Chain A
Amino acid sequence: MALLSVITGRLSQAFLLIFVMSLVGFIGIHSVGNPVYNVVNIETATPEEIRRATILLGLDQPVWRQYLVFVQNVATGTFGTSYIYHQPAFGLVLDKLSATFELALFAMLVATVLGLGLGVLAGTRPGSPLDRVIVTSSVYALSVPSFWLSMMLILVGAVMTGWFPPGGRGLTANLLGFDWSFLTSDGLRHLVLPVLALAIPNIALIARLARAGTVEVERMEFTRFCVAKGLSRRRILFHHTLPNISLPIVTIVGLQFGGMLAFAVVVESIFAWPGVGKLLIDSIQLLDRPVVMATLTFTAIAFVALNTLVDLVYVVLDPRVRIST
C-alpha cells in the first residue's frame, strides 16, 4: 500500500514537473533571442540565408506548433536536433552523463562519510570545544560561494603547488559503453579538485544535519532508556542513534546528489569538466533550444527518480511509514 501510493504520487508529480519545465523552458528560450543568429554568420548572411535557416530550424512556425513538434520529439525520445552540433540532442546529453555522474558520485561519497562522521562526533559532545569548532567551520563552509571555492582550490592545488591539474577530465577508460576518469590514475588526479569543490559545502550540510539529529535523538527518552537498560554507548550509537538520524540524511543526500547530477554547473565550467551542467550553460548561451530542453527534461526525470528513491528508502527505513496502524 505504502509503496504503491509513493510510486503513483511521484509519477503524477513527474508528469506535472516535466510539463511545467518544458513549457517554462520553451517560452523562456523563445523570449531570449533568435537562435538563427547563432547558426548563420551574422556579418555575411543575406536575408535570404537567414530566411532559409529559419525554415530549416522550424522557427517560421507559430509558437504553439513549435511546442507540439517539440512534444512530439520528446515522445519519440530524440528531443530534436541540436542547432549547433547537428546531432540528436538527447544523445549529446547522454554523452556527457558519465562525466557528471562520476563527479557527483564521488563528491557525495566523500561528503556523506566525512559529514556523518563529523556530525556524530560533534553531536555526541554538544558544547565541547570540538563541537564548537565543527559547527563554526560548517557555517564558513556553507558560506563559500562554490565558484570562489573552486577558484581557490585551483589557486592552491594547481597554480601554487602544482599537485593537481587545474581542469579537464584527463585520461579516461571505457566501461559499460561510457568513458570514466576514475579508472585511470591520471583521471583520478583530475577528479580530486572538482570533487572537493562539490563535496565541501555538502560535508558541512550533512555534518550539521547529523549533529542536530544526534543531539535530538540523544535527548530523547528512548536513548536514556537504552542507557538504563545497560547497553553500551557503541551499541546505542550504531543501533539506535544512527538509524534514527538517517532519515533526514538520506533526504539531503538524495536531493544534493540530484542537484549535482544535473547542475554542477559552476564547478563543471570552472574546471572545464565536460559534463551535463557545462553543456547546459553553453547551450543557453548559444540558444541551442533542443539541447537546453533535453537537458532540462533529463534533469526533471533524474530529480523525480531520485526523490522516488528517497521515498522508497524511507519506506524501508521507517516502519511508521511502512506499516500504518
Chain B
Amino acid sequence: MSASTTTTPLLEVRDLTLRHNGRGGQTTIVQNVSFTLGRGEVLGIIGESGAGKSTIGNAVIGLVGKSFEQSFGTIRLDGVALETLSDRERRKLRGKTIASIFQDHTSSLDPLMTVGNQLGETISAIHPGLPRSEIRRRTIELLGWVGIADPAGRHDSYPHQLSGGQRQRVVIAIALAGSPSIIVADEPTSALDATVQKQILDILRNLVDTIGLSLILITHDMGVVAAIADKVVVMKDGEIVEQDATSTVLENPKELYTQQLLSAVPRLHLSPSAAHSQPEEPAPILVVENLSRSFGGGNIRGLLGKPSAKFALKNVSLRVPRGSVLGIVGESGSGKTTIGRILAGLEKGDSGKVTLDGRARDISRSGDEGLLGHVQMIFQDPALSLNPRMTVAETLRECLRFTARKEGPRNPDEITRMTDRMGLARTLLSRYPHQLSGGQKQRVCIARALLARPALIVADEPTSALDVSVQAEIVSLLKQTVTESGLSMVFISHDLAIVQGICDAVGIMKDGRMEDFGPSDFIFGRSENAYTRRLIDARPKIFTH
C-alpha cells in the first residue's frame, strides 16, 4: 500500500520493549514490537484491553510515565532516535511534529476555557509571538476546517456547550494546529454514536489524503480499522500477532487470534433472508400504544428517587408477538432505554397504554405491584447489577423465594439447574460478584431474570460493557434461551448487527420517536426510511453483506 518504500520511513519502531515498575515488581507491557509508518499512511493498531496498544501510542508521543522503562529497542522519527532526546527537545516535538487525539471527548478539553482559547494556546505555544488577531484568525480557520459550523461563533463556546462530535472535532483541530507530520489517535471514536463516528473517521481520512498526514490509529474496533487504515498491527498481551496491509488482514488473516477477533465481530446482512419471516403472527404479549413521557416532567423519582436518564418519548407504539424478540435500536438520547425502564416498571410514563399479557399496566406510577416479576430486566453493566454483598446463591435464592408467592413454593434445585443451563460452574454459587468475570456476572443476571419466570424480558444493552469475544457468547446464550423456553424479549442496543442476529422485529428510534418499525428482514433489507439507511450506511462496509 505504502508508496515510500525506497526512502526512510517517517516513523520506525524497532524491537520496542517497555517494562512497568509497579508494586508487584516489573511487568513487561510491550515486547519486541516493530513497525514502520510512511508519510500519508494510516496505521491501525488493534487489540483487546490489556494488549499494550495504548502504551505504544504513549511511547511515541513521549507520555509514558516515569514508572515505565524503555529497556530495549528504538523509536526513530525521520531517522532520529527519540530516546536520545532530552525532555526539552521531546516537548518541542509534541504538538509540532507528533500530535495526538484522545478517546474521551468529555474530558480531553479543559472545562473552564473556551475551545477557541484552548486551540489558540496551542498555536501560540508552537509559534510564539504571533499577534492575537492572527491567532484568532487561524483558530477560526482550523475550526472550520474540521467541519464545525459557524466557527467564529463557536470560538468563544465552552466545551460543555458542544456536542460530543463537535468536541472531538475541536480535539482534532488542536492536534492539527501545529501542522504535525504524525497524529497518534487513541480510540478517537469509541465514545461516539455510529453516525458521528463515521463523520469523524471521514474527516481523519480526508486530512490524510489532502495534507499528507500520517496517522497511528489505536482501537479495539475492527470496523474503525476497516474504514480507514492502510496497514494493521494486531496485538495481544504486548506482542504483535500479525501485521500486514488492511485488506490482507481482513480477508486472509493468517493467525488464529486474528481470525477469532474477526469472527467475533457481528455482521449485518442486507439481503433478505427467509429465516426470520413468520407467516402468521401469534397473539401479542406486549402492546404499547402512544406512549409518551415529557422531559423530566412529573415526579419520576420512583421508589428511591433517582431516574437513570431523562429522555423524552413521543407517541411510541409497538407490539411484541408471544415468543418473539423485538429489537429497539437508537443512538444515545433516542429514548430507547426509557422505554425499557417504563416497561419494567422502573419509571413512569405520562400518557399512553401498555398492555402486557392481556392486562393493562398502570404506567402512571413506577412499581405497579400487581405485575412485579412479570417483566425482568437485564442491565448494561453487570458490575452494577448484582448486590456486592450477596453471594450468587443468595441473589438467586432471594429471587426464587419472592417470586414463588405467585405460583406456590418452588423447588430449590431450580437454581442449580438454571446455573448449569447458563454455563456457570456450581462452585461459583458461593462467590461474591467481585470474584466473577464480567461475562459470568451477566450470566448470573440472566439466570436471575429467568428464575422469576417473567412474561417478558427487557435486555438493555446487555453486551456493551463486555469484551468483543464475551459479547458473542452472551448474545448466543440469550438467543438460545429465548428460543428454548419460548420467551418474549425486548432487546435494546445501539448495534444493528447484534440486533439483526437475535431479533424477529426491529424498531428504530430517534429523538424519542419510533422512526421505523417492522420485521427484521424488512428493516435491514427493504426499508426506505432515510434514518434507517443512514444507520446502516454508518457501518463499515466490510462487515455488511
Contacts and interface: CB of A to CB of B under 8 A. Distances in A.
A319 to B, nearest CB: 4
B63 interface: yes
A320 B110 contact: no
A114 to B, nearest CB: 24
Contacts of A228: 61, 63, 94-95, 99-100, 102
A222 to B, nearest CB: 5
Interface stretch (A11-19, A236-244, A248-256): A236-244
Interface residues of chain A: helix, strand, loop or mixed (majority): helix
B121 interface: yes
Contacts of A286: none
Given A229-B94, A240-B113, A221 B107 contact: yes
A227 B110 CA distance: 12
Contacts of B171: 225
A75 interface: no
Contacts of A229: 94-95, 99, 121-122, 125, 174, 177
Contact of A225 (B92, B93, B100, B161): B100
B104 interface: yes
Given A221-B104, A225-B102, A244 B110 contact: yes
Nearest to B107: A221
Nearest to B94: A230
A2 interface: no
B92 A224 contact: no
Given A222-B107, A239-B113, A230 B160 contact: no
A227 B63 contact: yes
B158 interface: yes
A235 B96 CA distance: 17
A319 B159 CA distance: 9
Contacts of A323: 158, 160-161
A239 B122 CA distance: 12
Interface in B365-413: none
B108 interface: yes
Interface in B75-96: 91-96
Contact of B125 (A222, A231, A243): A231
Nearest to B171: A225
Interface of A: 220-222, 224-232, 235, 239-240, 243-244, 317-320, 323, 325
B111 interface: yes
Interface in B114-130: 114, 121-122, 125-126
Contacts of A221: 102-104, 107-108
17 contacts: A221-B102, A221-B104, A222-B107, A222-B108, A224-B102, A225-B100, A228-B94, A229-B95, A229-B125, A230-B91, A231-B95, A231-B121, A232-B125, A243-B112, A244-B110, A323-B161, A325-B161
Contacts of B103: 221
B512 interface: no
Nearest to A222: B110
Contacts of B122: 229-231
Interface string B173-210: 01001100000000000000000000000000000000
Contacts of B111: 222, 244, 318-320
A226 B110 contact: yes
Contact of A222 (B109, B126, B178): B109
A320 B159 CA distance: 9
B178 A230 contact: yes
B121 A325 contact: no
Contacts of B158: 319-320, 323
Nearest to B112: A243
Interface residues of B, number: 32
Contacts of A317: 112
B103, B112, B161 — which one has the most chain A CB atoms within 10 A of its CB? B112
Contacts of A235: 121, 125
A29 B109 CA distance: 55
Interface in B492-507: none
A227 B104 CA distance: 16
A231 B174 CA distance: 12
B63 A230 contact: no
A228 B92 CA distance: 10
Nearest to A244: B112
A221, A222, A320 — which one has the most chain B CB atoms within 10 A of its CB? A222
B100 A230 contact: no
B95 A230 contact: yes
A131 to B, nearest CB: 14
Given A228-B99, A229-B122, A320-B111, 6 more contacts: A220-B107, A222-B110, A225-B102, A227-B63, A243-B110, A318-B111
Contacts of B108: 221-222, 225
Contacts of B121: 229, 231, 235, 239
Contact of B96 (A225, A230, A232, A320): A230
A240 B107 CA distance: 13
A200 to B, nearest CB: 31
A187 to B, nearest CB: 40
Nearest to B87: A233
A229 B121 CA distance: 9
Nearest to A240: B110
A76 B95 CA distance: 65
Interface in B137-167: 158, 160-161
Contacts of A227: 63, 94
A227, A228, A235, A239 — which one has the most chain B CB atoms within 10 A of its CB? A228
Contacts of A230: 91-96, 122, 125-126, 178
B127 to A, nearest CB: 11
A304 B99 CA distance: 48
A228 B126 CA distance: 12
A105 B138 CA distance: 45
A320 B114 CA distance: 11
A119 B372 CA distance: 53
B63 to A, nearest CB: 6
Nearest to A322: B158
Nearest to A231: B125
B160 to A, nearest CB: 5
A317 B112 CA distance: 8
B59 to A, nearest CB: 13
Nearest to B97: A230
B544 to A, nearest CB: 33
Nearest to B109: A222
A226 B114 CA distance: 14
B341 to A, nearest CB: 24
A23 B174 CA distance: 59
Contacts of A232: 91, 125
